[in-house]
Amino acid sequence: MPDFFHPQILPATIGAIVGLPLVVLACVWLFRRWGKLSARTRWALFAGIALFEAAYWLNIYAWFIEPQMLVVRRVELVSEQWRGAPLTIAVLSDTHVGGPHVNAARMGRIVRRVNALRPELVVLLGDYVNGHHHPFERTPAENQEITGGIATFAALQTRYGVVSVIGNHDVWYDRTDVTAALQDAGVAALWNRHIVIRRTGGEPLVIAGLADFTTGDPNFAAALDGAPAGANTIIISHSPDPFVDMPHGPALMLAGHGHCGQVTIPLIGRPIVPLVNDRFACGLIRERGEQMYVTAGIGTSMVPVRFLNPPEIVLITLRGAA
């Protein structure tokens, strides 16, 4: 359930409480006067009330229902740069713990859902924190909720571990604190560096994490410096914007940040995409022979709504072309 009294969602809660009796009263009023009105007037009023009611229920859905959903998006990807056995990767991004829709308890349920998928590797793509404020500007309870949400990652069960990057909201909160909380949960936090994982049989797997695009300086060369030549390589980044500079060689880049716009309007598309390159808004992107997958993430930012962009866990199976 959302936190109906969270400051970001309280106006919508008040609107929902006030709006429902208005809808009912308008319908009752029109029903009682239907026979006394001219055909033109009653159908005009009917259309107006119907539009108001549709807007009311669409707002209820976008503010309170879809942000609480969770879908599993299964994606099969093929890369000519991938060698050896396929790899299953669970992708989580933009949890925004402390917002009206995500608290530590919900994160615990999401972690259990990920474990049920039995991924070999989990990657976390940043923005574990909601809002823009530093810890000293928040209450102890708010800080405890945030650190408690990150701590749930310790329960993730994988063959090859959990790897993460830091997002812009994490930097605004405190990059050092978020990194320490991730490490306490057993999660490697990467900032322009990589780790090497030895898969079954000893073959190396390189996971290279970039610095945040908004608050840092993502550098592929630094992130890959010293990585074993010819190893299977995956790039993880909070923002998809660095994809324009991705070198040839990695099999895949994974990113989040934009929440797929949070809102998709039929026939119009996504009215707001907080990216420099809005063509990287969502899903699978292929350019210059390279590929990237961008997830819609879990939480919300700015306006806490989602419409036709439900929260998601992405389960990717990555295999070679042969």
Same structural domain for residues 121 and 44?
A: no
Q: Three-state DSSP class for 164?
A: strand
What digits encode the pLDDT tens for the residues 56-82? 889 999 999 999 999 999 999 999 999
pLDDT at 130: 95
pLDDT at 212: 97
168 compared with 22, residue with greater pLDDT: 168
Task: Say if 1 falls within a structural domain.
Answer: no
pLDDT at 38 over 90: no
Per-residue confidence (pLDDT) for residue 140, from 0 to 100: 93
- Claim to verify: residue 258 and residue 306 sit in the same structural domain: yes
193 lies in a domain? yes
Nearest to 67 by CA among 144, 14, 119, 3: 3
Into how many domains does the chain fold? Answer: 2
Statement to judge: residues 89 and 190 lie in one domain: yes
The predicted structure's pLDDT at residue 24: 84
- Looking at 19, 48, 65, the residue that finishes a domain is 65
**Residues 293, 171: one domain?**
yes
**H or E element in which residue 268 lies:** none
Over the chain, what is the mean pLDDT? 93
Q: Does residue 5 belong to any structural domain of this protein?
A: no
In a domain, 98, yes or no: yes
DSSP 282-317: SEEEEETTEEEEE---SS--SS---BS---EEEEEE
* 89's tokens: 């990767």
Say if CB 310 and CB 73 are below 8 A apart.
Answer: no
Closest CA relative to residue 110, chosen from 169, 153, 159: 153
Domain shared by 163 and 60, yes or no = no
Q: Which of 82, 135, 60, 75 is nearest to 306 (CA)?
A: 60
User: Has residue 4 been placed in a domain?
Assistant: no
- Residue 5 pLDDT > 80: no
At residue 190, the 3 state secondary structure works out as strand
Q: 37 and 109: one domain?
A: no
Query: What is the rounded distance in angstroms from the CA atom of residue 252 to the CA atom of residue 77?
Result: 9
pTM given for the model: 0.92
Mean pLDDT of 302-308: 93
Are 61 and 86 in a shared domain? no
Residue 129 falls inside a structural domain: yes
Expressed as residue numbers, the domain containing 46 is 10-65
Return the CATH number at 278. 3.60.21.10
What pLDDT is stored for residue 168 in this prediction? 97
Give the contacts of 34 (CB within 8 A, at least 6 positions apart): 42
107: Cβ contacts below 8 Å, ≥ 6 apart: 95, 97, 148, 149, 152
- pLDDT bucket at 43, cuts 50 / 70 / 90: confident
252 found inside a domain: yes
- Domain check: are 154 and 246 in the same one? yes
Determine the Cα–Cα distance for residues 119 and 281; give it in Å rounded to an integer.
25
Span 256-273, mean pLDDT?
90
Judge whether 2 lies within some domain. no
Dist. CA 125–CA 133, nearest whole Å = 20
Phi and psi at residue 172, to the nearest 5°: -60, -35
pLDDT tens digit sequence for 135-152: 999 999 999 999 999 999
- At residue 84, the pLDDT reads 87
Picking from 292, 294, 284, 206, the residue whose alpha carbon sits closest to that of residue 245 is 292
Query: What DSSP letter does each residue of 85-104 carry, written as one string?
Result: S-EEEEEE----BTSSS--H
**Rounded Cα distance, 180 and 270, in Å:** 35
* Domain shared by 282 and 309, yes or no: yes
Quote the CA–CA distance of 92 and 315 in Å, as a whole number: 9
